[in-house]
Amino acid sequence: MNINLTIIGQIIAFAFFVVFCMKYVWPPITGALAERKKKIAEGLDAADRAQRDLELAQEKAMSDMRKSKEEAAAVIEQANKRANQIVDEAKEKAREEAARLVTAAQAEIDQEANRAKEALRAQVATLVVAGAEKILEASVDADAHAQLVEKLAAEL
Amino acid sequence: MASEMTSSAYISHHLTNWTFGAHPENGLGFAHTAQEAAEMGFWAIHVDTMLWSVGLGMFFIWMFRKVAKAATSDVPGSTQNFVETIIEFVEDNVSSIFHYKNALIAPLALTIFVWIFLMNTMDLVPVDWLPFLAQKIGEAFGADPHHVYMKVVPTTDINATLGMAFAVFALILYYSIKMKGVGGFLAELAFQPLGKWLLPFNLFLEIVGLLAKPVSLALRLFGNMYAGEMIFILIALLPFWAQWLLSVPWAIFHILVITLQAFIFMVLTIVYLAMAHEDH
């Protein structure tokens, strides 16, 4: 167990290793570690952000879908309403048309009947006059008795 | 080995450093015996301690420098991963104990931890391998194999541990004076813990406490490693077929000891330097 110069040698070697380590070993490695730590933090941040963005996008997609569903429902409802309205209008128009046709037909019928009546009346008058001529065997002045015959015909 | 010499000769051969120095009678040269090494006094150097410790230190800075040069913040390779794990471990310890701004402390702690760990790890190399190899090499160079000494665990040499402890002690003194000034440092020694009326007693207590720091650092590491090495040497005296029964459990236990001793030296260094920065 001799204490000798080795002690000085050890101090010199120790000092050399410490200084070398301090200058050339410690800074680069801790620098790389710090940089990696920063990178990882940034990566985690980005992942968080992406997650948040994804949630937002999902929410937006959901709300968009809900909105378009509502819109579609409204359109369908409106279309139904409109269809009903069109059908109603068509019914109404048809009814009116029918009524108009019926009225027109009625009027024509009335007109025909009147015309027939008129014709009948005229023929009756002629017949009556002819009959009276036959009965009287004498010529009756048609013009002179026309008034009388008219009256008779009107009474028929 | 044991068959060639007596047990005590074997043990003392294993505990003698390869010493180079100025012998009072034989002049400059390698010591041939433990006694010659002792006679050389202070002006001698343990070549094996220096070789192994500097070699392992070089291995440490080579490996870490290689990683530092290629350090990337992208996916690290396996060596970088390993080195980063050690650096983060050291950094965690430093930042939990040492709360001042000082660029030296963390690299110092890293160097202490890894270097001491590597030197301690030499303890796990079977005790006869490297000395035997050294003897064969010495024989090839024409030396008497009995006079070739090779102690491969630098931390079992008190010079190595004392050298590191003194370096730490110098840092303690430097930072104490730098942070508190000479007056502040002396005042801390003189007026604590019992106030100015018991100044001589305080001074005695504090100076003993101060000196105990490097001495305890050095002796704790040295004692643990020396005792561990001693037990390996004693186990090596058993018949070869029985050695593994004891050496294997002891080596496994020693894995814990070498790591723990390196860790303790590092943590105490950080603590002492934090105390040096502390202003009362």
Domains in chain B: boundaries: 2-277
**pLDDT, tens digit (0-9, with 9 covering 90-100), for B1-42:** 444 578 888 888 888 888 998 888 888 888 888 888 888 888
**pLDDT, tens digit (0-9, with 9 covering 90-100), for A21-62:** 999 999 999 999 999 999 999 999 999 999 999 999 999 999
CA-nearest residue to A2 within chain B is B38
Q: Which two tokens stand for residue B101?
A: 């701004």
Which of A4, A22, A35 is the closest to B73 by Cβ?
Answer: A35
Confidence of residue B163 (pLDDT cuts 50, 70, 90): very high
pLDDT at B247 over 80: yes
Interchain pair B159, A6: CB under 8 A: yes
CB B193 within 8 A of CB B205: yes
Q: Which two tokens stand for residue B233?
A: 């040497």
Domains in chain A: boundaries: 6-155
CB B36 within 8 A of CB B146: no
**pLDDT, tens digit (0-9, with 9 covering 90-100), for B51-107:** 999 999 999 999 999 999 988 888 888 999 999 999 999 999 999 999 999 999 999
pLDDT at A154: 77
**pLDDT, tens digit (0-9, with 9 covering 90-100), for B165-187:** 999 999 999 999 999 899 888 88
* Residue B145, C-beta contacts closer than 8 angstroms, at least 6 positions apart: B135, B136, B138, B139
Span B215-228, average pLDDT? 95
CA-nearest residue to A24 within chain B is B65
The three state secondary structure string of B58-72 is HHHHHHHHHHHHCCC
pLDDT at B224: 95
- Only one residue has tokens 């037909």, namely A105
Interface A-B: count of C-beta contacts within 8 A = 138
Closest CA to B36 of B55, B54, B17, B50: B17
Active site residue B224: yes
**pLDDT, tens digit (0-9, with 9 covering 90-100), for B43-55:** 899 999 999 999 9
pLDDT at B1: 43
Which of B53, B73, B111 is the closest to A32 by Cβ?
Answer: B73
Name the DSSP letter for residue B1: -
Rounded CA-CA distance A152/A155 in Å is 5
Residue B54, number of CB atoms within 10 A of its CB: 18
Complex ipTM value: 0.91
From B202's Cα to the closest Cα of chain A, the distance in A is 31
Query: Is B225 exposed, middle or buried (CB count within 10 Å of its CB: 0-12, 13-18, 19+)?
Result: buried
Question: Which one is predicted more confidently, A129 or B258?
Answer: B258
Span B188-215, average pLDDT? 88
Interchain pair A18, B108: CB under 8 A: yes
pLDDT at B190: 85
pLDDT in tens, chain A (156 residues): 688 899 999 999 999 999 999 999 999 999 999 999 999 999 999 999 999 999 999 999 999 999 999 999 999 999 999 999 999 999 999 999 999 999 999 999 999 999 999 999 888 888 888 888 787 765 666 676 777 777 777 777
**pLDDT, tens digit (0-9, with 9 covering 90-100), for B120-148:** 999 999 888 898 898 888 888 888 888 88
From A47's Cα to the closest Cα of chain B, the distance in A is 18
The three state secondary structure string of chain A is CCCCCHHHHHHHHHHHHHHHHHHHHHHHHHHHHHHHHHHHHHHHHHHHHHHHHHHHHHHHHHHHHHHHHHHHHHHHHHHHHHHHHHHHHHHHHHHHHHHHHHHHHHHHHHHHHHHHHHHHHHHHHHHHHHHHHHHHCCCCCHHHHHHHHHHHHHHC
